[in-house]
Structure 1
Amino acid sequence: MASSEAKEVTQPVKRSDQRQLQKDEMKIDRKIKKQDHNDRKSQKRKQRAEKKLNRMPVRRVFPIWLRVIVVLVLALVGLFGGMMVGYGVIGDGNPIEALDLDTWRHIIDIVIAE
């Protein structure tokens, strides 16, 4: 019975036709790959959006406003410490006098006086 089935007869195909078929197949393959790539991208976007919605809000242990205050306080401590070291150690004076307002008035008078 198998011998009674009609067999397809393949005729030789021209080389230009083969090339055109290959080009068409490559175009179809590129379209399929591009579609798969776009599907993966959209799926990743959906996952990121869902993850963002389900994310718990961040509670900072050390709030930003407190960080600003700490930085300002540390800057002031550094300024006063530098004044005391400069006046006391380098200038051979009493370090506590560097914090006295009269000392700074005297220094300004010396600098401004002509």
Structure 2
Amino acid sequence: MSETRSEKKSKPTEEIKESRVPRWVQVRLFPILIRIVLIVALAAGSLVVGLMVGYGVIGDGSPTDALKKETWTHIIDLVTQDTE
């Protein structure tokens, strides 16, 4: 016989929990920490590639110059100089 709704509600919660069996458990191939490190590494890589393309292709300079400290000190000096 089929149970009515009131009979299902009257069952103790322990019996209901025991009757629920997980059918599928998700196992992560990449843990969250590895995902975060991968995202940070990809973001840093895209930043470096963007700098090199912007400085080398758009700015008509050598792409490897975009990674030198002297280039950035010169850019900072140009931006922060007095306009007098």
How many equivalent pairs are there? 77
TM-score by structure 1 length?
A: 0.56
Bigger proportion of residues as helix:
1
CA distance in 1, matches of 2:70, 2:19: 63
- Choose between structure 1 and 2 for higher RCO, CA contacts under 8 A separated by at least 6 residues: 2
Q: State yes or no: 1:90 paired with 2:58.
A: yes
Q: 2:46 aligns with which of 78, 84, 87?
A: 78
Question: How far does residue 39 in structure 1 lie from its aligned partner after superposition?
Answer: 3.3
Give matches, 1:3-42, under 5 Å: 36-40=4-8
**For residue 45 of structure 2, what is the amino acid of its counterpart?**
V
TM-score by structure 2 length?
A: 0.74
> Quick check: which has more Rg, 1 or 2?
1
Deviation track 1:16-64 (CA, whole Å, cap 9, x = no partner) reads: xxxxxxxxxxxxxxxxxxx922434576x71587325xx6764321111
| Identity fraction in percent | 42
Where structure 1 has 5 or more consecutive residues not aligned to the other structure, the ranges are 1-34
RMSD over aligned CA atoms reads 2.8
**For residue 68 of structure 2, what is the amino acid of its counterpart?**
D
Change (3 A) 1:82 1:75: same
